């Protein structure tokens, strides 16, 4: 999906596509966490507004956040790592 004002891909669409997720909801699946973490680490800085990062945190983790970009990335990376560690425990 394109942002018609800025001509850029929406953050959630960007994360899903580059994580190999067929659907946005797949971003919430723990098995996608390893790929999602890699995408988050490589995503360009300053491309999406803070609101997009807040939306991503809320959508993926299910918890609201008033986070800006840096804090949101940290929250999402921590969520990915938590998913990875839970997967290894099984």
Q: Are 50 and 68 in contact (CB under 8 A)?
A: yes
Show the tokens assigned to 70. Answer: 């840096």
Query: pLDDT tens-digit profile of 70-88?
Result: 999 999 999 999 998 876 6
Q: Following DSSP, what letter does each residue of 36-65 receive, concatenated?
A: HHHHHHHSPTTSS-HHHHHHHHHHHHSS--
Show the tokens assigned to 22. Answer: 């067929």
Q: Are 43 and 30 in contact (CB under 8 A)?
A: no
Instruction: Assess whether pLDDT exceeds 80 at residue 13.
Output: yes
pTM: 0.84
């Amino acid at each position: 999906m394109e942002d018609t004002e800025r001509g850029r891909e929406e953050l959630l669409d960007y994360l899903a596509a580059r994580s190999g997720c067929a659907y946005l909801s797949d971003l919430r699946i723990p098995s996608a966490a390893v790929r999602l973490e890699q995408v988050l680490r490589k995503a360009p800085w300053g491309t999406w507004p803070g609101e997009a990062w807040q939306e991503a945190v809320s959508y993926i983790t299910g918890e609201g956040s008033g986070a800006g970009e840096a804090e949101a990335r940290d929250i999402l990376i921590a969520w990915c790592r938590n998913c990875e560690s839970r997967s290894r425990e099984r």
